[in-house]
Structure 1
């Protein structure tokens, strides 16, 4: 029985707008009892908020079916033994909550804090020079630098806005330290996702619209891969994107129900 790791924005919805056939595809998965996980690089929302957003676009979802890069970052800190000291969090509600639920002590940019062991950074739409200054100070003093996801741009309702990777570029440049990357295409989030499904990687389809994150992450995790042409990749640019990325998906589909038809 196949399992599925499903990207969200550009695959199941475009911002606030549902993508045609997405709800039908989720219904198809549920009817057949195929296990799946909503897998997102977005660290700003909690799983509950992700599920509510999916529901608002007409897609049935619950929080336990969601894995975010924020959750994966918190799990990584715990598993890597990086949870013993204060953590500076540059991020929004989803990341803050995930770290707190893992029992981590958070410090904000407003206070000087000695002994910070980790700087964890995701998307932060209140990012400031002061936050960058303190993050760089901690990292240069020896704190580990962990990045929830490397996305430089985020698609939203037909536009692109700066993502967590754009913020990271400034911190990495000033600290002269490359972060540990958690989200797709990193093997870290893929390991947690495949473990959650309880299937071997070769039994799992990684499905998404982004060749550099969804497809590359799936391929490097030894999953099967399916690219849908409903987001960053579309009919007019897909071959150019494949050539630039150097990664070719196993299947290329116009939409999710075409993928269902090919899998059977």
Structure 2
């Protein structure tokens, strides 16, 4: 069993992460922006990481927009980016389909412009109806205004036996107003209607990792994300290190209860973690000025210091207690003390 499978504490680093890793593979929603607006500290942190020599690549399961559109949005936010810096699950699923079907195959598109463009890039022909004799169905996030009728078109084709592919199966997506249904929720609707199962390309599965490495050429990458079940699990599956930031879907309680494949290498409140040393957790679950302990059926903290150091200590105590399982200890009071 590899080291990541039995991780019992976050790692420490005496150097800034931007100096240790050559490329940051950054998720977008919940990490760089939410609902179109930059997340606090993101712009200045990424600029500083770039100055340290770290390459920034943006890896998103959101298949709705083209790389050109995403790069333009990032640049408007103050994060200069080129289309080649953006890797999407639309690109990953298009390559997956092209590897299995001949050039010129017709693909029923259920999603946004990003998916359509990615299919064109691979020599595939997008179509809009189940009656257009598609050779495959490609389903990706189409934005909050995607008509319900598009899911019906997918269902008609899939029920006829047409191969079905999904860019990703994230059930939720962060927005400026809260957590909204993601592509995985729409995939569930088609699954319920047809009883079929799609081939999935996006994080945490290998096609997305392959697409990312092919396009970035990263030699020592660091996956940076806000989701345990996509970003962190994808890093685990790819055998690379990861940094979890608490600006999106995952909160501190979910992190403490993480199963082994969802345990990140490093933990930070936000993208400033790229620029910081990572204090190590010592053998007695001490980090910074905090010491985590197990008292009865609950986690507790002694001491004081930076809240994120306390969280690192709690993770070490919880993950050690859980081993290869999931920690069931009560962490509410300990987290309240940290302000999480």
TM-score normalized by structure 2? Answer: 0.70
Q: Deviation digits for residues 198-217 of structure 1, max 9, x if unmatched?
A: 234xx211111111111111
Unaligned runs of 5+ in 2: 1-20, 279-340
- The number of residue pairs the alignment matches comes to 256
- Secondary structure class of the residue paired with 2:57: strand
Structure 2 match to 1:175: 194
User: Whose radius of gyration is greater, 1 or 2?
Assistant: 2
Match status 1:210 vs 2:230: no
Q: Per-residue deviation at 1:84?
A: 4.3
**1:1-264, aligned counterparts within 5 Å?**
2-81=22-101, 83-109=103-129, 112-114=131-133, 116-124=134-142, 125-129=145-149, 131-200=150-219, 203-235=220-252, 237-240=254-257, 242-243=258-259, 247-262=262-277
- Secondary structure class of the residue paired with 1:207: strand
Question: Contact between 2:104 and 2:123, CA under 8 Å: does it hold in 1?
Answer: no
Q: Per-residue deviation at 1:128?
A: 2.2
TM-score normalized by structure 1? Answer: 0.89
Q: Per-residue deviation at 1:82?
A: 5.1
- Secondary structure class of the residue paired with 1:87: strand
Q: Per-residue deviation at 1:117?
A: 1.2
Kindly report the root-mean-square deviation, in angstroms, between the aligned alpha carbons of the 2 structures: 2.0
- Secondary structure class of the residue paired with 2:277: helix
Q: Deviation digits for residues 123-148 of structure 1, max 9, x if unmatched?
A: 2332324x333322322333111101
- Secondary structure class of the residue paired with 1:45: coil
